[in-house]
Each structure stands twice: as structure tokens, then as C-alpha cells.
């Protein structure tokens, strides 16, 4: 009799253990579905801001709006899904549009633009006519792959604006007079088209080792009248003084 009771108790114990394990496994699985997607590009940015990781939107369709906001008194920025890249992991790519009228806000290295968290996957940038100033540090480290056009409404490009970005070809329309220091420093810039309206190029604005061609809309004499601060030499990673220059390109 005692042996029978012992066998029954062992069976009950095994059943209880099995049920507890099943409940635990189900709980872990269910909780995993509730964990927010924290595959964010610039984690260190969050550590310096109050932006909550859980509030960052994700998208499943091209054209979906990811985030938007103000980047000037009368300027708006909109980030939309542009595509998907497949490498060791899958990532969405994004298009950033800036539109409205007036000056963009200036940012700093310690207070970067709100879209910076997506910088590694912002591959397309559109700055619409109406913007008059492109802010400091605005597109720092953005992985831009499109031919970038600066519209004729823009009068100045800030400091460090495109620093360390992957933009290779930039067409600056007539209107811009000032390009700030380190505006394109350490970028992937290969060709740049500069307007006749240009009067000032800040220090190390084109400190780019890959820069091979500079096209200027004015004459060589007009180019020589532009105030050009030190762009440094090849020893410092700059190819500005060695790049082929073509005048009167229009």
C-alpha cells in the first residue's frame, strides 16, 4: 500500500513540475512579444537626450512616416521609409525631407538634430526651396547616397553641417554666399559644384581626402576673390588644393 501511494505521489510531483515548466515557458514567450524593438542606430545619442527608446516608430511600408517635427520657426522635417538593406542583418533605410521657409535651427555635437538616431540609414536627403540657412551639425554622419542639391533659396551652409557624411556629389545652386568651417570635413565628397554667388569658405570646410573635382560657376578671377580660409594639405587628409578646378562650368 505504501509503495502504491509513493508511486502516485511521484507521478503527481512529475505532473506538477511539468505544468510549472510549461507555464514558465509560455510566460517567457508571451513576454518576448511585448519587448519593444530597440534596434536603434545611435544608442549613445539616447544617453544624451530625453528621447524614450520605446517611442521611436518603426515602419513596414515604403513611404510610411517614421517621425516628423520642427527644425526651424517655419521649417518642418519628415522622415519616411525609403527601402531596406540586407547585410548581416536587415535594416530599413530612410528619406529625410526639409521644407518650409526660413533658417534651420543650429545644432551642436552635444545636441544633435532629432533625426540623428537614424543617421546611419538616412540615404536620401531633400532640402526644399524656401530654406535659407542649413544648420550647424544638421546632417553630421548621415549615410547619404543621393546627389545632394542645395536650393537657390539657401544663403548659408553652417559649420560641420555635412561632416563625416557619405555624400559624394553636391550641387550648390546660385544663392549661397557662405560655407561654414568643416561643413564637409571628413565626408566622402568627390565632386562639388559651387555657385558664382559664393564669397566665403570657412576653415577646413572641404577637408576631404576624396575630393577630386571642383566646378565653379564664375571665372578664375572671381574664384581668387573668394575668402578661403585654410583648407589644409594632404598631410591632414585634405585634397582641396590638389583637386581639378573647372571655371565657368555653366
The answer to whether 127 and 100 have CB atoms below 8 angstroms apart is no
Four-point Cα dihedral 158, 160, 162, 164, nearest 10: 180
**Given this model, what pLDDT does residue 45 score?**
43
User: 91 or 227, which is more confident?
Assistant: 227
Mean pLDDT across 160-185: 97
Chain mean pLDDT for the chain:
82
* pLDDT score of 229 more than 80: yes
* pLDDT score of 67 more than 50: yes
Confidence of residue 61 (pLDDT cuts 50, 70, 90): confident
6-10, 63-67, 225-229 — most confident range: 225-229
Determine phi and psi for 114, rounding to 5 degrees.
Answer: -65, -20
pTM of the model: 0.76
Confidence of residue 28 (pLDDT cuts 50, 70, 90): very low
Instruction: Give 5-25 pLDDT, tens digit per residue.
Output: 444 455 545 554 545 544 444
Mean pLDDT across 180-192: 97
* pLDDT score of 43 more than 60: no
* pLDDT score of 56 more than 70: no
* pLDDT score of 73 more than 90: yes
Amino acid at each position: 500500500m505504501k509503495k502504491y501511494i509513493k508511486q502516485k505521489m511521484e507521478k503527481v510531483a512529475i505532473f506538477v513540475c511539468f505544468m510549472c515548466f510549461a507555464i514558465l515557458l509560455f510566460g517567457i514567450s508571451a513576454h518576448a512579444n511585448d519587448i519593444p524593438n530597440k534596434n536603434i542606430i545611435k544608442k549613445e545619442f539616447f544617453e544624451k537626450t530625453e528621447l524614450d527608446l520605446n517611442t521611436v516608430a518603426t515602419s513596414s511600408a515604403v513611404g510610411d512616416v517614421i517621425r516628423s517635427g520642427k527644425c526651424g520657426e517655419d521649417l518642418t522635417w519628415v522622415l519616411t521609409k525609403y527601402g531596406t538593406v540586407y547585410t548581416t542583418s536587415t535594416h530599413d533605410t530612410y528619406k529625410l525631407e526639409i521644407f518650409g521657409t526660413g533658417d534651420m535651427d543650429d545644432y551642436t555635437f552635444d545636441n544633435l538634430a532629432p533625426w540623428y538616431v537614424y543617421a546611419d540609414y538616412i540615404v536620401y536627403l531633400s532640402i526644399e526651396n524656401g530654406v535659407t540657412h542649413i544648420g550647424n551639425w544638421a546632417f553630421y554622419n548621415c549615410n547619404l547616397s543621393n546627389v545632394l542639391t542645395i536650393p537657390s533659396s539657401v544663403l548659408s551652409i553652417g559649420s560641420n553641417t555635412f561632416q563625416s557624411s557619405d555624400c559624394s556629389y553636391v550641387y550648390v545652386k546660385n544663392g549661397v554666399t557662405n560655407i561654414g568651417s568643416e561643413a564637409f570635413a571628413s565626408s566622402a565628397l568627390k565632386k562639388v559644384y559651387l555657385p558664382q554667388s559664393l564669397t566665403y569658405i570657412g576653415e577646413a570646410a572641404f577637408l576631404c581626402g576624396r575630393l577630386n573635382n571642383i566646378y565653379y560657376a564664375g571665372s578664375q578671377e572671381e574664384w581668387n576673390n573668394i575668402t578661403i580660409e585654410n583648407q589644409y594639405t594632404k598631410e591632414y587628409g585634405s585634397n582641396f588644393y590638389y583637386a581639378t578646378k573647372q571655371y565657368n562650368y555653366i
